[in-house]
Each structure stands twice: as structure tokens, then as C-alpha cells.
Structure 1
């Protein structure tokens, strides 16, 4: 007995197998749009880089020096806010060998409530929020202090702020 499969079904199966076998790095960022979940006590600047992180996460640990450098000297109007998946502040303080740097505005995400609201499924994940709108998602660790990343953050922030106000540069 011979099974007949339509050609389009075979093409879909081959396409799925090809996609599953690709070994490419994740995209530099994914554009997103829509209202951002509200953050209690969020700083009031134009833009926030909301970072989901944990001291026990190797890629998060790798990214931390770059993130701290960005937070200490961010592009104009940008602030960094880190939500930690650590169980308690002691683990975070142990990682930083003292209190977390104030520039990170670190908060514990008890029960991962904020991460769920932002749809975070992996650590680290960073989300750019401009004027209360979701702009970009950055899955995985980043070199936040690189010239290219700073330019990208400035461009995405400026783009969204221009659309929000309707003005042009």
C-alpha cells in the first residue's frame, strides 16, 4: 500500500527540518510594539531598558560588566532597571560582593511576576520601553557598552520618541 502525500506537505516538512537545524546566533533584537506593563516606582525618563537577570545565570554573569557600564553612563534619556530572578537579596549581594550598584536599580522579581507580564522565557532578556511603549526585545547576553549597541539604543529610543510626538529630526 502506497501513501500519497501532497507535495506542499513534503515541502513544509523539509522547511521545518531545515529551520530546526540552523545554527545561527539570535537576532540582534526583535522589534515589538504595544503598551508596556506598568512598573511601580519606575524612573520617569523617556526610555527604560528593562533587564531580566539572575546571579546564578552564566550568560547573565557574563553580561553584567557591560550592563553596569551602560547603566553608569547611559545614552541621554535612558535608564536601566534590572529585575532579578534570585530567591533573595543575599544571593545578589554575594554576587556583587556587597549591595548591587544603584545604577542598575535592581529589584527582586518575586514569583517572576514582572517577567511573566513582559513574556520573558529566558535569561537574560532585555526589553526597551520608550514613552510607555514596547520597542525592542533583546534575547540573550549583550555587549551593552559597545559603540554599536549604544548607537542602536539611541536610534530605537529616538525613533519611538519621534513617532510618539509626531515631530521629525
Structure 2
């Protein structure tokens, strides 16, 4: 189960983390609403979805928020660059007699990429790889990435919710 939870966070990170691409000709389209810093704040699970692993991932994120641990942060810059800070690969979940112990990782993986927003389609450019497009919902200070956009087989019925900081 631990691997599944780490995979969920990893996929959310991979969805937005990319290697640096220095092609400065790409700029965001209609993207003023996305510019800023966003923090993963919730995993929403549809009421009809009964998945213990998704529920456990939501509990882990809630626990980390309770200790002021910022697991994934995206900074969408006006220049069309995306800076990602992620602690996902450094999570350690310990189960003991006192329950769960999940210390906030001190190591952070930092990556940069290019991004373009066209309507509800967010495209992330990776150097040397095909672009990746994701359907997002953007409502003021809330950015939602539907699980189906990341992996229809494993994350159907769940959304990664980011809040503007």
C-alpha cells in the first residue's frame, strides 16, 4: 500500500515536473489565472469511489499538512516557465505501536520546465520528449488536476487539489 501512495504522489509530481527546456519562444496563452505559486492541499475522492489506497493517500497528505509540510509546490511564472519543488520521492512512512509516523522530508527535488495553458489544457514541455497535456480546472485560487488526466486506470475518482499561496 505504501508503494501505491508514493506512486500517487509521484505521478502528481511527474505530471508537472520536467527537465529544463531553454526554448524561450513558448509562452503561456490566456494564462494570467495560473501564474503564481500553488501548493498541493488536498486529494478529493468522489463519493462513489471506495478505494482504500486513495483514502490512505488523503490521510497522509492531511497528516503532512498538520505538521506544515509542503509536499509539492508549483510556481507558474509569467515567462512560461514552471518551477517544481517536490518532497514526494523522499517520503518515509513508518507504522509503529503509536500509529503512523510520517516525518516531513528535508530533501527537495527541484525541476524546471515550460508550460502553456490553452483553455483547460495545460501542456508541459520536457526537453527531448513529447509534450504532455493535462485537463485542469482553474477556479480563482484553486487548481484541480483530475486523476483521470494523470492515469485513468489508477486515479479515476480522485482529484489533486492545489491552492494558490
- The question of a shared fold, defined as TM-score above 0.5 by the shorter chain, is answered with no
TM range (shorter): under 0.3
Which has the larger share of helix?
A: 1
Higher Rg of the two aligned structures: 1
Q: TM-score, length-normalised on structure 2?
A: 0.25
